[in-house]
Amino acid sequence: MATNNFDDFADRSVHSQPPLFDGTNYSLWKGMIKEFLMAINFELGFVMKLCYKGPITNTNEITYINQLKGIPKEERRAMSMDANPKNILVCALTKQEYNWACNCDTVKKMWDMLQITHKGTKQVRLTNMKCSRCCQKIIEEEQVRKMPRSLPNQWTPKVIAIREAKNVSTMTMYELTGSLSPHEITLLNKK
């Protein structure tokens, strides 16, 4: 009998249970929970992102059931549309993750809190992306610096010519390999 090797998320992929989020694989869970919400009700997937913009009665001030009748129909619908995905999110979080978002009064605030907690603000993500690019540039500079040293002795005249003709410290790996390729073809043709 064959066994399936799925991630932990597969255990909760039944439609009646939202995918569980335990603080790992946030990007994967984020996509899965959006799909889960949209499968239940297409609008639910957008409620977290957009939120209801109109006035909402403070439910803490409601002490009698008759007070609900005074709330306009559109506002009650908005409160319901907020409560459904909020309930699903609460069910999808472990206790530790729930503690991050439990004080949020709307699903949008809860969603944003999870986003900030696990991915940072837009500014943090932008900074991380810049750092990533910077690290890639440093790695490429290191490769450009080391590659000529790793070539066999028969490449020495070409390496010297490249160093004299071009500024190797600003050269990209693509430019370096482009400069070395004609010499490689010449060496192959000699053999």
- At 111-143, the pLDDT tens digits run 888 888 777 666 766 676 677 677 777 778 888
Whether 81 is in a domain gets the answer yes
Q: Is residue 157 part of a domain?
A: yes
- Do 25 and 68 sit in the same domain of this protein? yes
Q: Are residues 111 and 24 in the same domain?
A: yes
Task: Tell me: do 69 and 37 sit in the same domain.
Answer: yes
Nearest Cα to 44, choosing from 101, 12, 8, 92?
92
Q: Does 3 map to a domain?
A: no
Question: Are residues 26 and 95 located together in one domain of the fold?
Answer: yes
Please check whether residues 14 and 108 belong to one and the same domain.
yes
Tokens 């619908």 belong to residue: 77
Q: Which helix (H) or strand (E) holds 141?
A: helix 122-150
The whole model's pTM is what?
0.52
Residue 70 lies in a domain: yes
175 in a structural domain: yes
Residue 5 has a pLDDT of 39
Based on DSSP, count helices (H) and strands (E) in the chain, helices before strands. Answer: 8, 0
What single DSSP character describes residue 106? S
Q: Per the structure, how many domains does the chain have? A: 2
CA distance 50 to 98: 21
Same domain, yes or no, for 52 and 132? no
Which residue range(s) make up the domain with 84? Answer: 8-120
Last residue of a domain, one of 79, 95, 120: 120
What integer pLDDT is reported at residue 41 of this predicted model? 81
Q: Which two tokens stand for residue 4?
A: 């399936």
Examine the pLDDT at 96 and tell me if it is beyond 50.
Answer: yes
Neighbouring C-alpha atoms within 13 Å toward the C-beta of 176: 21
- pLDDT over 50 at 1, yes or no: no
Other beta carbons less than 10 A from residue 124's beta carbon: 11
pLDDT tens, residue by residue, 24-65: 888 899 889 888 888 888 877 777 777 665 556 666 677 777
Q: 104 and 129 share a domain?
A: no
Give the end of a domain, one of 120, 140, 174: 120
For residues 179 and 162, is the Cβ–Cβ distance under 8 A? yes
Final residue of a structural domain among 105, 120, 135: 120
Tally of CB atoms within 10 A around 131 = 10
Residues 107 and 30 in one domain: yes
Q: Are 51 and 91 members of one domain?
A: yes
**DSSP bridge partners of 93:** 21
pLDDT in tens, 156-191: 888 888 888 888 778 888 888 888 888 888 888 877
Q: Phi first, then psi: what are they for 128, rounded to 5°?
A: -60, -40
Asked if 23 and 105 sit in the same domain, the reply is: yes
Contacts of the segment 82-87: beta carbons below 8 A, 24+ positions apart: 82/47, 82/51, 82/52, 82/106, 82/107, 82/108, 83/107, 84/40, 84/41, 84/44, 84/47, 85/37, 85/44, 85/47, 85/48, 86/110
Co-location of 18 and 91 in the same domain: yes
Q: What is the model's pLDDT at position 13?
A: 47
Same domain, yes or no, for 98 and 30? yes
Q: How far apart are CA 139 and CA 147, in angstroms?
A: 12
- Mean pLDDT (the chain) is 77
More confident site: 77 or 127: 77
Per-residue pLDDT at 23 exceeds 80: yes
pLDDT for 153 beyond 50: yes
Give the residue-averaged pLDDT of 98-120.
Answer: 81
